Structure 1
């Protein structure tokens, strides 16, 4: 049985302190290593506020702790949507120092609320562009519908390909998605339908999915591990909202094929950001941690620990990703300004149409 983590699941790693270096050694220049490009931070604790899917390789984080003299403590705040809501509600008494997991569906809200302060890493890789001078891209992944290939083969039914296919009666009661009001993948998929059918047409599309028996889960974890038949945990629905990278982690024992596939014509590209929380107790440590997340070690660890594409395009990817985890050639897009202006309205309209 395979259990995904990272951007795909709810595994929380609270990282213990590794051997702290002395202040003198820090001042000698340890902060200039490949895992962090900021000036050396003072020893202490950096509290990372993140979503429930934080799962970066502990050994990589321990290396950062050893080199910086900092101890990383992880505070999980739910899904990305819940994370941003909590950051806004606690703006005057921040929950930590650094944040990871604000994505491009909620980034505008975080920036407008002023929950992150301006900070640009000194070694920002080529091709990596910040938002508002405060949010630094760390990883990206395509949110797409996934199919249980074995279920469809056994049922002698062709795997759907497009958004329109999902509303076809032959796929009635087969799809489970996550709620855009409580789940960032759910919101990403809502935006995919806005991009596909327009602001005036997405409600009709969702109404057709409701008529076709779509099920809505509160979180990605519930949709994938409770309802999806391809997760190996007793689910009954062979179509689930997940990521284009998910099939790279449902590969057969001989490595020849994946038991699941991503519908690459149903995707919306999600970007996850890190930043320094405004009013934090340790902004210098938070800056060092943001630098670390863009460093070579952390970027290289992202695919196999977080199951997302690294933000730095120069990072080498696992050999089997080209075969099992390709990105969509033409993911659906919605202008960020439109998302900022209409996100809450679109969620309300979705809720009225789908939940009632």
Structure 2
């Protein structure tokens, strides 16, 4: 049975539907160019619709990704990438957006069913750890000689085995509303320690790290700042200072917009979107605690066993081109992964990068992240 037996085209928009997809959300959040929330497993009993490709038609490249990459309410890179790629390559580019995201392909691999896509866009370190923990054999092929890969910023590569190439990154930071001070001059604290001061009691909204990528990034930043032996004590003090932990980014950010609190854990590209929407930038100030931001890169790779290996690599190289990197950054409201991206002055003016980026390596997260988040959950639930 060929891999493409399970692909069926839906509509004229270049998005394909995949058999076995079920309702659910992805492994991150819907802000800052990252994807949805907690993932669910694929339905192992679903079947697909068979289609064929006539010899006269151009080859089809199926790129799987999260839904917001293709059809976010504001802007999405997907439609522009499809149009531009097809104008330059003799190929048809179709996007697949399974509801359970990478879990869909993990389940297919566990069932011994062929993978029905060529490229995955939107991989993060949590997904990679999940893949390696659940599968004995790799889901993706090494892509360590892709043209343009040498331009990726130092520190963004998160796969020690060279299967994933970063294409953008976000930095998790504090966003605060300057107008909420007594005289319209609220100023967020500058350090993690200052966040514990009585004057900031009840001022911070964040997200549950067990189901939210922004919440997990903030938790990991506290682990980095206070150490594995001190971060729980720090969170105990945060709780005493009435931090509010909500379920996900959308819920907490909407509460921030409704001025339920003057600070929210979000992304340092917040002013890009706020400026685009004509919002008051005084309500979207950025604060890097300890002059740091937690880096959250996204990557792409080629599925093992694709029957379009050269075209798939062409797509990865296309994604790393300076002009394409610039477009992805603007449309996904995230920073480009490369140092050579073509960015307009407006983006550079409103997108703020931290003086220092913080992150943990793949090995550090693989060995510790479950323990860190579970310990946080036990302590937080006990209060």
TM-score of the alignment, normalized to the shorter chain, above 0.5? yes
Structure 2 CA distance, aligned partners of 1:252 and 1:136? 29
Alignment partner of 2:228: what SS?
coil
Of the structure 1 ranges 113-122 and 298-307, higher mean CA displacement relative to structure 2 is found in 113-122
Q: Is the Cα contact below 8 Å between 1:8 and 1:220 reproduced in 2?
A: no
**2:325 equivalent to 1:293:** no
CA distance in structure 1 between the partners assigned to 2:188 and 2:151 by the alignment: 35
Paired position in structure 1 for 2:175: 146
Most deviating of 340-349 and 255-264? 255-264
Paired with 2:277 and 2:78, the residues of 1 have a C-alpha distance of 23
Shift in CA distance, 301/227, structure 1 to aligned 2, threshold 3 Å: same
1:96 paired residue among 114, 117, 122: 117
Structure 1 CA distance for aligned equivalents of residues 107 and 363 of structure 2: 23
Alignment match, 2:192: 163
Q: Deviations over 1:314-336 (max 9, x none)?
A: 11323134443221112334343
Counterparts of 2:80 and 2:88 in 1: how far apart (Å)? 12
Structure 2 matches for 1:221-260, cutoff 5 A?
221-224=250-253, 226-229=254-257, 234-251=258-275, 258-260=282-284
| In the alignment, structure 1 residue 263 sits paired with structure 2 residue 263 | no
**Structure 2 residues not aligned, in runs of 5+:** 1-29, 37-53, 71-75
Q: Distance in 2 between matches of 1:333 and 1:116?
A: 23
CA distance in 2, matches of 1:211, 1:58: 47
Would you say the 8 A contact 2:222–2:231 is kept in 1? Answer: yes
Q: Identify the structure with bigger relative contact order (alpha carbons < 8 Å, sequence gap 6+).
A: 1
Query: Normalized against structure 2, the TM-score is what?
Result: 0.72
Question: 1:280 and 1:270, CA in 2 relative to 1: closer, same or farther beyond 3 A?
Answer: same
Distance 1:155 1:116, change over 3 A: same
Query: Paired residue for 2:166?
Result: 137
The alpha carbon displacement at 1:121 in A equals 5.1
Look up the match of 2:59.
43
SS of alignment partner, residue 326 of structure 1: coil
What is the number of residues matched between the two proteins?
317
Shift of 1:299: 0.6
Please say if residues 172 and 214 of structure 2, whose CA atoms lie closer than 8 Å, have aligned partners that are also in contact: yes
Whether the aligned pair in 2 keeps the contact of 1:300 and 1:316 (CA below 8 Å) is: yes
CA RMSD of aligned residues (A): 3.2
CA drift of 1:61 comes to 2.3
Counterpart of 1:316 in structure 2 is 342
Aligned to 2:228: 199
Q: What SS is found at the alignment partner of 2:210?
A: coil
Q: 3-state DSSP class of the match of 1:91?
A: helix
Q: 1:253-279: per-residue Cα shift (whole Å, max 9, x none)?
A: 889955312211252111111012335
Give the C-alpha shift of residue 101 in structure 1. 1.6
- Given the superposition, is the C-alpha separation of residues 53 and 240 from structure 1 closer, same or farther in structure 2, using an over 3 Å criterion? farther
Matched, 1:208 2:226: no
Write out the 4+ residue segments of structure 1 that deviate beyond 6 Å after TM superposition.
252-256
Structure 2 residue 278 is the aligned partner of structure 1 residue 278:
no
1:344 maps to which residue? Answer: 370
Deviation larger for 113-122 or 182-191: 113-122
Instruction: Report what 1:75 is aligned to.
Output: 97
TM-score normalized by the length of structure 1: 0.77
Evaluate the alpha carbon distance shift between residue 153 and residue 59 of structure 1 in structure 2; reply closer, same or farther with a 3 A threshold. Answer: farther
